[in-house]
Amino acid sequence: MSDKQRAREQKHAWIYLFNLGFYILPMVLFSYQVWEIVVMVAAMLIFIGLYYCCYSVPREQMLWPILGMYIIACAVTPLNPGSIALFSYAGFFVGFAYNWRVALVAVTGILLTLAAFHFGPGTRWALFLPYGIVIVVTVSIFGRVERLRQQHAEEQERDAEEIERLATSVERERIARDLHDILGHTLSSIILKSDLANAQLSKRRYDEASEQLVELSEIARESLSQVRQSVSGYKHGGLQLELRRLEQRLADGGFSTRITGTPPIIDEQRETSLVLAITELVTNIIRHSNGQQCLIHFDETANTYHIKVTDNGNCHEVSSGNGLQGVELRMKELGGSVAISANKGCEVALLLPKLAEQQV
């Protein structure tokens, strides 16, 4: 389940607490001492905390909250036969979190626990076992159905993201074609006007040369406007897609490339800056490095993403030209930094701080 889906499910988790009515009802119908009421209410509050914990963690991390719910249900059963509601929640999350074989074994264990209480110490309700079996089995099936529903939703979300990436790729190709057509014509016109102005100047026809330069300026301004219109709304294809394209560019330039680690999942604006920064570093390698290998490595700590772009060329000193200055500016705008090392090749490390909600 994605973080967005998990937040959405947790927002509505309180609705399913209605089943606790089975637990609360005996507290109204039966006569209890004050301390017993206090114990049962405290157990219910801890149980609700574990319930929300299950909603807030991935399926792989639900084992301990489920065990906690099961233990609380066992502890209160001698006092309150409505504990079948608590067992049913444990059954739901078992059906939701595990494959059907594990879930079947776990649900069977819960049913055997109900039987042990019913035929062993006994409970304050003669129908504890029959009702418990029906409720636990039914709710466990609901948990299994919910797992299948969310898996289907995740697949749909992945398909939608892939469609969006493909659409973005098509848009990039359209922009490339438009720019090719616009700039091809415009640059030809600029070259022609420049040659004419130069010819007029050589003949000392300054008025005619000035006229050509005015037309040249108008062509350049019009070209700039057309380029802006063409690229308005442009979005890159995402960090993963851009990395594959950069890898291909490096291969075309004669570099073998390795991309290691897990690229960060960040918001669009920060991802765009990171894509442009890595693209500039790769361009520098293709233009200036005399090496044959390039490594792009991703790592992270609790507060920071680390990205290293390294080549194995003979590099002893790095001059900070416009490209590297642009990279440093982009990182600075994001609150990050750039570190450059020229020991056994050139290594540029980008440090990008995580946002508060991304920090572990």
Judged by average pLDDT, the poorest of 90-99, 154-163, 261-270 is: 154-163
Same domain, 145 and 65: yes
338: three-class secondary structure by DSSP: strand
Distance CA 190, CA 7 (A): 56
Asked whether residue 158 carries a pLDDT value surpassing 90, the answer given is: no
**Per-chain mean pLDDT for the chain:** 82
Which of 115, 112, 103, 107 shows the shortest CA–CA distance to 136? 107
CATH of the domain at 191: 1.20.5
Distance CA 331, CA 350 (A): 7
Query: CA distances (Å), 76 to each of 71, 132, 138, 175, 228, in order?
Result: 9, 15, 22, 67, 69
Q: How many domains does the chain have?
A: 3
Rg (CA), the chain: 33
Same domain, 48 and 146: yes
Q: What is the pLDDT of residue 36?
A: 92
Q: The whole model's pTM is what?
A: 0.46
Q: Which residues contact 236 (CB under 8 A, 6 or more apart)?
A: 168, 172, 242, 271, 272, 275
78 vs 209, residue with greater confidence: 78
Same domain, 114 and 59: yes
Last residue of a domain, one of 213, 231, 249: 231
Asked whether residue 63 carries a pLDDT value surpassing 80, the answer given is: yes
Asked whether residue 39 carries a pLDDT value surpassing 60, the answer given is: yes
Same domain, 35 and 138: yes
Last residue of a domain, one of 137, 158, 179: 158
Asked whether residue 216 carries a pLDDT value surpassing 80, the answer given is: no
CB 336 within 8 A of CB 311: no
Maximum average pLDDT range among 9-18, 157-166, 200-209: 200-209
- Band (pLDDT 50/70/90 cuts) for residue 234 is very low
Judged by average pLDDT, the poorest of 1-10, 33-42, 346-355 is: 1-10
Same domain, 16 and 148: yes
Residues 180-203 have a mean pLDDT of 71
Number of other residues whose CB lies within 10 A of the CB of residue 41: 12
Residues 300-311 have a mean pLDDT of 92
Of the chain, the percentage scoring pLDDT greater than 70 comes to: 83
Same domain, 103 and 60: yes
101: three-class secondary structure by DSSP: helix
Last residue of a domain, one of 179, 211, 231: 231
Same domain, 199 and 265: no
Domain holding 297, by residue range, is 239-358
Same domain, 11 and 125: yes
Q: What is the pLDDT of residue 231?
A: 58
Maximum average pLDDT range among 106-120, 155-169, 176-190: 106-120
CATH of the domain at 332: 3.30.565.10
Asked whether residue 212 carries a pLDDT value surpassing 80, the answer given is: no
Query: CA distances (Å), 38 to each of 45, 70, 79, 336, in order?
Result: 11, 19, 12, 52
Residues 18-22 have a mean pLDDT of 85
335 vs 151, residue with greater confidence: 335
Same domain, 100 and 73: yes
- Band (pLDDT 50/70/90 cuts) for residue 9 is low
Residues 266-273 have a mean pLDDT of 84
CA trace torsion 281, 283, 284, 288 (10° rounding): 150
189 vs 287, residue with greater confidence: 287
